[in-house]
Structure formats: structure tokens, C-alpha cells
Structure 1
């Protein structure tokens, strides 16, 4: 009898070992799930990635974040492994064939990822017992939103979205990649007073939802960054995004088919986003895009720009004289920020950050070169310093040599050097490197009326002294 029992156990173990190495168990599980579905014991809910207009479903993003935080993702049989933004990060991502479980308020729930019924994106499918859906569903979805928000806040990660060619519907019009630009408000090269004014303006904006709504205006703000190439406009955009923790939507107008397509791209952006169009003046003057000037104007402040809130629009140009003035007229852009050519003060900041040098015997020669009209952009100077960072003296000599070979025959002050560039009668205004005391800045805010008039003046903190006196 004992021998029979031992043989039975041995056979059973062999069968189980065989089953564990084959797909039989999965076939049985799939059959059982199909049987339950036929008996209508479960209710299914789908969370698609995009709606019929290819607008991203924010709930899909929240569910995505939540599901990838569950321990059951690691325990599943079909989890994909990817490297993260850091070299040692290993990320677990759902597989299309993956089925993971979760529990909430004593109920058991299951999630799967599958291709959407439409030809755009994917969808998450939630299954739970019908008898528990009224008790569990809404509290569970609120729980997902809360957990996902906490995870996003802790990570502080942002994404860069790039627009795809029109007609690409598999993943929508926007393609996202992790944004890893290291620039922050602390590292960006900018005068301290100017930097504080920008930060205060952004902080005020994110806290002003009720104020904008009370005025009957859309909660958005627009910036114009202008100055020669290489003066730090792109790095400043990255610093703005990290300061606000907003995703960046970088619009390439060469991939936009017409004005309507541009409007659709704007509609498909999300809240808490930085919407960027770089080198707008070059794109408009080249006539190489299918977008008209009226399309740009409608994008900036037309009725389509009101489809969405808590967004910051950023436009960059090389010079105000190179773009149609209707683009930057008062009321269309809230804040103008000038990025002047590199001066000696900015050079010293670069020497400190790139070379660790605050003073050097060659500094007077560099200063003299600037005074004699030599010019290099911040980007060019920093590249020279980085290439020669092991020898500060060699780096400074290389900068002096490059400056002497790039004299423009005019002094740097001709470029403005951080001062107000507009004529006294120009209604446009800007942030510049001109110093303004914080107390005067705070006093100025008492006179600003964000959106209280249909056509408001762009914010000018460079001339704050004059405005305070007038008020």
C-alpha cells in the first residue's frame, strides 16, 4: 500500500512539473476566465489612451503610473524590463499579454493591457465582479488618482512631447520621451534679480486659478524669449519646465500640415504643460511651413487657445525686428524676456561654473576684449571652457583668442547689454538684467491686472522703477 502511495505521489509530481513547464495552466486559466465571462459574473471597464479626437486621456496616464507601482507587476509572468533614466534603474513595464491583480476594500480586481478598438494607442481594461462594482468602482478610481499624483510628485519627472507627422494615429500626434535636461533655475546663467522676478511670476501664476476664473479668463500665461542664438533661451525653457514640473510640448511647425492641424495639436496638449515654438521668426520668414501668420496668431490668443488651462506658452525669436509686430503686440504676449549677448559679468559666472575660477590674472584682458566690441555667445564660451577645463589658464587664453578673432567693430553696449532695447515710445516690454529691488517688484504686482483688460501690456520689470513712480 505504501508503495502504491509513493508511486502516486511521484506521478503527481511529474505531472505538475510538466504542467509548470508548459502553457497548459495558462490554457486552463484562460478557459476558466472565458467561462466566467459567459456567465456574466464580471463587469469590464476600458480606459483608452486617446479619445476619438486623438486627445490624450489623462486617466490612462494615471492608471499607467498606478499599475506600474503594484507589486503584482513584478510577480506576473509577462513583465517587460527596461533601463530607466539613471544607469542603475530597472523599470518593469506591462506586457500586452499580461494580467495583473489588485485588491481594494476587500474586492479583487484585474487589469490587462490591450490594443484600443480604434487605431490609436492602447487601452487598460479593468474587470471586477458585478455585485461589487457599485461599492468599489468610484472609490477605487479616486484611489488610483490619489496614488498616481503622489508618485508623480515624489518623482518630479517630466516628459518632452514631439509632434508627429499628420496622419500618424498609432500613438496619437504626440510622441513622448523622458526629459533629462539638467538645467534648473539654480544653474541657468542669469542675473539674480531677473531670475527671482521670473520665479515669482511663475509662482504667482500657478496659484492664480481662482483669480483668472473670477475675471472670466483662461488660466494660461505666455512668454517671449528673444536674443541671439546661443544666449541660453533653450536652457531657460528647460529650467522653467523643471521649476513648474510641467511637461514640455515642443511644436515643430515643419511637421504641421496647415492652420487646422496646428489647432488640433494645441487641443491635444494637457494641463500643466509648457507649449514651446522655437525660432518663430525664422520659421515665418523662411515661408517653409504650411502655417500662415493668421494661424500663428490664432494659436497664440485665439479662441482655440482657450481649450485647456494651467498652461504656459513660450515663443523664442532672435530679434524683435525680424518678426511681424502683430505677433508680439501688447495683449498677445504677457512677458518679454531679453537674452543679450554674453558680457563680462556673464563671462565671470561661466568661469566660476565651468572652471571653478572666480578671479584670474587674465580677466582684465577678457574684459578689455568685450569693451572693444568682441563677441561670443555664452554657449561658445562655455564650450571652450569645457574643452580646456583641466587648465583654466589655457581655457581663458583660448577665450581671449576667440574673442579677438570675432570683433564686430562695435561695442557690446550697442546690443543693449541687458538694458531696455525698445525706443521710449515702444509699448513692448521685457525682463532684462537691469536691477530692480524686490520690494519695488512686490509693489508693482499690486498694480498689475492679469487679464483684466482684453489688451494688456506685456509685463516689464526692467522699467519697474518708472511704473511704480507713475502709480
Structure 2
């Protein structure tokens, strides 16, 4: 007991140590003030404060990690946060903001706020204090960005966040997407293994689209029924999707029809070039990374002849020489690989999606693509009709009638002219007389060529007496 008492330092020793420590502290502070910049001192102090606050807060808080990908497909909770959080950027805890504009005409009126990396975004739900942070890093083996959100709150609110807040997050994002104005068109970047967006500013709507009234009504009614059909599709055990085939000659408005559908539904467009996809595995990865409430566009599809040609080439190479290099015998995307996403098991990965195929030659498509359930509606985009011509005339020349309308209407019935050709002639001049006269002359020339071709074909069918 006496030895323990003897080990306790005296009061004078404690004061001596305190005095020495204080002197060293004052000296160190003066050295820091004289030689270390204030910004650096503030930065170190902030980091020390963050470290200790994080350490003591860790025991009483919980953090939800929301990764961008989940079970091979896009994490819809991540997408919901990505849509919802820009509405909370006014509550940023720091002065860092990501701003941008894609409008070349008036960029200041179209400034948008983006989600900064590693910056705390504050939210509040039913009195619960929430902190969001977006983290980003590049993967080790692939040159694509891996992102995730951190959501932190007190542990006592964990169950409420799981049951109520995430539901609120999903509904808020759905409501925002339903009223979004800026649409995107995506193209797939194979080097970075991700879809890359660009602003979609095609202004064609069903009001400006030159198509027959019955076709427009049928299509709008079908789209409206589809958008409200979540419960119906679930009740019949079908994936919530719709497939359209747009077919017809070039220049008949297939691309404009896609734009009108996108603008009507407020859906983003994913433009996929099948020729650039390596194989079925890559196709699945590409398609499952598309978002809900979107359009998958596959233009100029001609799988019947193309797939057949690839299979024949592959068979010849296998018969001709041994298989030394596997890459040499890759045949790209198979028809079954595409159909498995259109209406197979993989079609259930996502919901509220529209798939649109376009072709100039419907007769060349593989019959398997045309079966019911794969392309629900086939839409013929045909040559110009009198109604379509009058619609174009009203849009481009701002007139409803003209003395040249009757002769032009007659020629429209006799020759095959596309809406694109008519529009090109109507845009030649703002003067209606000049524009319509040019269109009339163009149609007359087409008629003369058609009659000449018919005459030549008729002469070719006449049997030559010397061949008997």
C-alpha cells in the first residue's frame, strides 16, 4: 500500500508537467501559425473533427448502402434516389454544386443541378434527420464507373426507413418521372460498358405527326391503356411491356413515329445497334441495364436473312477447317437471344417498357419475330395519302386549300411518294405557289418515269419470233 502511494506523482510534479506541456503547445501553435497556411490548418482541423464525430456517431447510427446494380440488373432504389435527390439540393451542407445546361439557345434558363460526389445532401422524413452521399469509383478490371448512395440515420429509425421512407422515395421518383420534360436518347458505349445519354429534342408529337386519323387514335388509345395496365399485366402473369413493329418504305415517318411515342409517354429512348453487340451474354447485360419507363428501339431489324447468313457462314467454316480460335466462330446475337428478352424469362427484368422494331422489309423478318406477344401491334408506315399531304401542307405552308391541291391529290393516288419527299418539296419555298408548283412538277416526273418503266417491262414480255 505504501509502495502504491509512493508511485502517485506529487502536486508540484503535475503542475510542472502541465506547465511544460502548455509551453510546448503554445510554441507548436506559433510555429503552425507562422509557417503553415491557414487553409491547410483549417483543413486538418476539419478532418480531425470529422474523424471524432464519425467515431462517436458510428455507435448510434446506421448506413444503408444502395449500389447502382443489384442482382444483375439496375437497382431501382438507386434510380429512384437519382431522380429524387436533385429536388433536395437546396439543403446541401457545403457550397459545392454541380450545374449544367444542354440548351445552346438559352443556357441560363435551362440550368440543371446535378448530384455532387462525396457531398452530404440533407433530407427529412416525418421528423427523421437523413444524410445522403453519392460515392463513385472506377472498377479494377473494367473502365466503368461504380456508384453507390450512402443513406445514414439513427439506428432507432431503421425499421421506419425500411418500410416507409423507401416507399416514399419510390413514389416520389415515379411522380417526378411522370412529369419530366427533358427526355434522353441513349447509345451503348462498349468501351465503358454503359449507356451514355444525349438530350432528345425531337419535337414531333401526335399533333404534328402526319398520319391517318384512325391510326393515330388506335395508337394513342393503346399507349394510354398500356400506361394504366400495371395491375392487369400482373393479374394475367405477363411482363408489363408492349411491342410495336413499324414497317414500310424508307421516308414514311418511322423515326418520327418513335419520337411522337416518346414525347407522348415521356419515356427515354435506348437506341440499340444489334450489329455492334458481340454475343447473347453481352445483349442480356445491355438490355437489363435499361431503365423502367423507357423505349428500346431496334431499327432496321432483318434477323431472318441475317441470322441465316451467319449460321451458314459458321457451318462452312467449321466444315472447312478445325476450330482453332473460338473468336473466329462467334456469330453475334442469335435470334433466340433477342426473343428471350422480348418475351422470355428475361422479359420480366424491368417493367413499363416499350420495345419498337423498325424495318423496310417486313417480308424478310424471321416468322418467330412476328408471333403474337412479341410484337403486339404491326403498324404500316405507307406512302403519302391525300390526308397526309393536306396535313403536311397545313404544317409547312400554313394553308388549308390551294388551286393546285386537286391535281396534286390525283397524282398522289397514281404514284408512290413518301411523306419525306413531299415535305422536302414543301420546304423549298415559303411561298405556297412556288412550293406546290415544284411538288406538282416532281409528281408529274415520277408519273412519267413510272409509265416509262411499265412500257419497257411490257416490251420485254413480248416474245421474240426468232427465238421460236
TM-score normalised over the length of structure 2: 0.73
2:77 aligned residue (53, 56, 59): 59
1:281 and 1:186 mapped to 2: Cα distance?
31
CA 1:22–1:379: 2 relative to 1, 3 Å: farther
- Decide which of 366, 373, 381 is 2:422's aligned counterpart: 381
1:49 paired with 2:68, answer yes
How many Å apart are 1:303 and its aligned residue?
2.9
Q: 1:73 to 1:252 in 2, by over 3 A?
A: farther
Match of 1:16 in 2: none
1:73 deviates by: 5.3
Aligned 8 A contact 1:221 1:313 in 2: yes
Match status 1:345 vs 2:387: yes
The CA deviation string for residues 306-345 of structure 1, in whole angstroms up to 9 with x for no partner, is 3333322211111222323333244542211111111232
CA distance in structure 2 between the aligned counterparts of 1:90 and 1:98, rounded to whole angstroms: 20
The verdict on how the C-alpha distance between 1:81 and 1:120 changes in structure 2, with shifts beyond 3 A counting, is closer
For residues 167 and 231 of structure 2, what CA distance do their matches in structure 1 show?
23
Residue among 21, 33, 36 paired with 2:53: 36
Secondary structure of 1:121's aligned partner: strand
Alpha-carbon RMSD: 3.2
The one-character-per-residue Cα deviations of 1:107-135 (angstroms, maximum 9, x if unpaired) are 43322222158554322222233344445
How do 1:38-437 and structure 2 match up within 5 A?
38-39=55-56, 40-41=58-59, 42-51=61-70, 53=72, 55-72=73-90, 76-85=94-103, 87=107, 88-116=109-137, 118=139, 120-136=145-161, 138-165=163-190, 168-169=192-193, 173-281=194-302, 285=306, 290-373=332-415, 375-388=416-429, 390-407=430-447, 409=450
Q: Contact 1:223–1:336 at 8 Å: present in 2 too?
A: yes
Q: Deviations over 1:92-118 (max 9, x none)?
A: 223224333233333433222221585
Quick check: which one's helix share is greater? 2
Question: In 2, distance between residues paired with 1:94 and 1:109?
Answer: 16
Q: How many matched pairs?
A: 388
Deviation at 1:257, TM superposition (A): 0.5
C-alpha distance in structure 2 between counterparts of 1:109 and 1:330, whole Å? 48
Higher-Rg structure is 2
Give the Cα separation in 2 of the matches to 1:149 and 1:304. 23
Counterparts in 2 of 1:303 and 1:35: CA distance versus 1, 3 Å: same
SS in 1 for 2:369: coil
Distance 2:212 2:135 in 1: 51
**CA 1:325–1:146 in 2, change beyond 3 Å: closer, same or farther?**
closer
Flag structure 2 segments of 5+ consecutive residues without an equivalent. 1-35, 311-330, 453-468
Give the TM-score of the pair, scaled to structure 1: 0.73
Q: C-alpha distance in 1, partners of 2:229/2:83?
A: 28
Separation (CA, whole Å) in 2 of partners of 1:108 and 1:231 = 56
Please list the CA deviations of residues 122-169 of structure 1 after superposition, one character each: whole Å capped at 9, or x if unmatched.
Answer: 22222233344445564333333333333333334433222222x634
